[in-house]
Each structure stands twice: as structure tokens, then as C-alpha cells.
Amino acid sequence: MIKKLRRKFVLSLFLVMLVVLGSVNAVNLYQINRKADSLLTLLTDNNGKFPDLLPSGEPEPPHKRPGGGLDLSPETRFETRYFVVKTDAAGGISQIDTGHIAAVTADQAQTFAEKVLESGKTGGYTGVYKYRVTDTDYGRLLVFLDCRSQLQTAATFLLASCAIAAVCLLLVFLLVSVLSRRAIRPFAESFEKQKQFITDAGHEIKTPLAIISANTDVLELTGGKNEWTDSIRRQTRRLDGLVKNLLTLARMEEERPVAAFSPFPLSDTAREAAEPFRPLAESRGIRYELDIQPGLSLNGDETAIRELVTILADNAVKYAEDGGWIRIRLASDGRGIRLETANSVAVQPEGDLNRLFDRFYRADSSRSRKSGGYGIGLSIAKAIVESHKGRILVRRPDEHSLAFIVVL
């Protein structure tokens, strides 16, 4: 778990740098487009011509400086490369002005204009030229602004920033890999102490439980069984089960090396774990279906996977409505092995279904008390799945059923 937390810490910083890089380049491209739009506005407002500018850089009246942060100077008209195409009321090209650009001939300008008119768009890019189409008294005015230099600058900036970011990310990754150990050390120590406490407390509780059980045996031998001794035995079994589950959860949260896994017959293990729940389900009128693909095997911890199937089958039996149904399927779907347990429910759990995997969370406290659950079984199931690098999901196929899906 600590290694997983460290990976998440490093990945989060990696994503932050990518967001910053993307934001800087997006702002740069936005500014280029904004200034290009301002120039197009200035040209279209002046019927395709650059207005004369005062020494201050302001357009002569009645023209006004367009928005978009455009910085005008007397040199701007000579620095701006553009061409203009005008059409008559019938849509035919009546005039072409390429006097302000050397890279485009009149024939090329006509080709660009025809392509734009055919598209029906009133603005955008065609190649490196940003254009705008406006309606006029005589027909249409098409202004094409050469953005080649600005786009090349943006591309160069993007490549340079990506290269710098790649180097920085590598250095940050190496640095954070070292520093993250210190950053999460308090949590790691707290987590280790928590696991040690659970382990120590579990073993300490087992001793008085054994004594209580032995004393109950003595009471039954001397005074016979009664409702009080039966109650003591039930509560002792519940507490013993809780201790075992806590110890199992603490053990499963330790990442196991893959070398500790071994191949085993998954189909046989799943059937052996799920079949014992059939009599209990059928005694409540529940239709219990097992659909297990034969011959499947898995490289993993057979004992843990057996516990996983047991937890999911037990959960389905506990919360399926009387007279309902339970379906357990195991099959290979090409991407991995898929285990699904689904059951009918009278009332769907409220809120976020993912909280069902939280420790001691119970969607329906009254039913959990009745079934004897502590809300820890699904936490163990999730830990088992994650220790095998798998995923476990919970879904509502419809308003009357609930399904748990495991992909290994």
C-alpha cells in the first residue's frame, strides 16, 4: 500500500506539470488567435483595407482600435500580410487584392475564396491563413490573414517547452522518488503502527475468547444449555470472526511479490467455494445459479481467491430477497478472467455504491445486524483483488438487482 501511495504521489506531480505545460501553450495559441481576430476586425471594418494610423498608433476617425489587446503602430500595416476577395450579389468573384502579400497569386486567392465559400463557414483557418467572411452591400467580403509566422512561432514554442518539460519531469521524477519517501514517512509509520496494533490486539483478544468459550463449556456441563449460554456462544463466534477478518485485511494490504503466487485451477476453486451456499439459498426459496467456465487457471494465491469467492457468495445470500435469485458467473472474456456475482434485492443501497468497499460501512444497518455482518467482508474482497492487480466494481444492472464484478 505504501508503494502504491508513493506511485500516486509521483504521478500526481507528473500530471500537474503536464497541465501547466498544456495551459501555457493553450494561452499562447489563444493570444495568437485573439490578435489575428482583432486584425481581421480592423480590416473588415475598413472594407478590406488597412486604415491610416495617427502617430500615436490609433486609427484615424471614424475607425477605432479593435479589442483583443492589439498593439498598433504606424509599422503594423507594413508588417501585416493579407489578401482580400470580394464577391457580387450573385456570389461571383468580382475583385481580388493580393497587393499586401507576396506568397499568394490572384489565382491562388481565388481558389482559397472558392473553397471557403463552398464550405459555408464565416471564419476559421484554411492552411496558415485565418479568414473571415462578412456580408456587404455589394455582396461578400473575404479577408485572409497570413498567420504563418505566428503559427511557426507557436509550434517552435510548443516543441521547446515539451523538450524542457521532459527534462524537468525526468529530474522531478528522480527527485520526487527520493523525497516522496520522506513526504509519506509519517503516514507509513502510522500505517505500520495501525497494522501492528490490529495484529497484536487480535492475538490478545483470542486468549480471552478461548477462555470464555471454555467457561461456557463448563457452564453447559454443570447447568445444561440455556438461552444465555447459546447467546454467549453466538457472540463469541461473531467476535472471533471479526478478529479473523481484521487480521486477514491487515495481511492482504501488504503487497505480495508475484513470485509468491502459483498457478492453480481457478474453475475448481470457485465452484468449491460457491457450492456450499446453495442449500442456504434454496432454503429461502432463492434460485441459485452457478455458471463457471471449466478449465480456467490463474497465477495467484489460491487461498485468497477462495476467500474472495466465499465473501461475494456469502454477501449475495445475505442480501438477496427471499424468493429471489443469485447468479455467479466465471469466464474468460479475452482481456482477463471475469467473476460476477449478481442477486436480486428488495431495496437498492442508497448513496455511492463504491462506499460498500469501505471498512465497517453498512448501507442498511438493520439488515447488517440481522445478518451478523460488520461491513468488513467487501473490504477484504477489494484487498484480495488489488493484491492480484485486478479490479472490483459494483453496479446496478436495474432497480431490482445488484452486481459485483471482478476482473483478474
Higher pLDDT: 108 or 79? It is 108
Could you tell me what percent of the chain has a pLDDT over 90?
A: 25
Whether 239 maps to a domain, the answer reads yes
Over 50: is that where the pLDDT of 395 sits?
yes
Whether 180 maps to a domain, the answer reads no
Instruction: Please tell me the least confidently modeled range out of 132-136, 305-309, 310-314, 357-361.
Output: 357-361
- Of 213, 231, 252, at which residue does a domain stop? 252
Cα-Cα-Cα-Cα dihedral sign, residues 72, 77, 83, 86: positive
Q: What integer pLDDT is reported at residue 369 of this predicted model?
A: 46
- Cα 228 to Cα 37, 208, 258, 298, 356: the distances in Å are 86, 18, 48, 46, 34
Judgement on whether residues 6 and 134 belong to the same structural domain of the protein: yes
Whether 106 maps to a domain, the answer reads yes
- Of 252, 276, 296, at which residue does a domain stop? 252
The tens digit of pLDDT for each residue in 216-225 reads 888 878 878 8
Judgement on whether residues 232 and 369 belong to the same structural domain of the protein: no
Judgement on whether residues 234 and 292 belong to the same structural domain of the protein: no
Give the residue numbers spanning the domain of 210: 185-252
Q: What integer pLDDT is reported at residue 5 of this predicted model?
A: 62
- CATH number at 372 reads 3.30.565.10
Whether 178 maps to a domain, the answer reads no
How far is Cα 189 from Cα 106, in angstroms, rounded to an integer?
75
Judgement on whether residues 305 and 355 belong to the same structural domain of the protein: yes
- State how many domains the chain has: 3
Over 90: is that where the pLDDT of 287 sits?
yes
- Of 252, 279, 303, at which residue does a domain stop? 252
Whether 163 maps to a domain, the answer reads no
Nearest Cα neighbor of 242 from 359, 364, 341 is 359
Judgement on whether residues 198 and 130 belong to the same structural domain of the protein: no
Judgement on whether residues 100 and 210 belong to the same structural domain of the protein: no
Judgement on whether residues 116 and 235 belong to the same structural domain of the protein: no
Whether 315 maps to a domain, the answer reads yes
Whether 95 maps to a domain, the answer reads yes
Over 70: is that where the pLDDT of 196 sits?
no
The predicted model gives 359-379 an average pLDDT of 57
Judgement on whether residues 303 and 356 belong to the same structural domain of the protein: yes
Q: What integer pLDDT is reported at residue 366 of this predicted model?
A: 46
Over 90: is that where the pLDDT of 83 sits?
yes
The predicted model gives 127-149 an average pLDDT of 92
Judgement on whether residues 12 and 44 belong to the same structural domain of the protein: yes
HSE-up of residue 358 (Cα within 13 Å, Cβ side): 9
Judgement on whether residues 362 and 312 belong to the same structural domain of the protein: yes
- Cα 245 to Cα 85, 95, 242, 314, 378: the distances in Å are 79, 85, 5, 14, 10
How far is Cα 219 from Cα 85, in angstroms, rounded to an integer?
106
Whether 243 maps to a domain, the answer reads yes
Judgement on whether residues 200 and 328 belong to the same structural domain of the protein: no
Higher pLDDT: 92 or 379? It is 92
Judgement on whether residues 87 and 214 belong to the same structural domain of the protein: no
Higher pLDDT: 7 or 117? It is 117
Over 90: is that where the pLDDT of 11 sits?
no
- CATH number at 193 reads 1.10.287.130
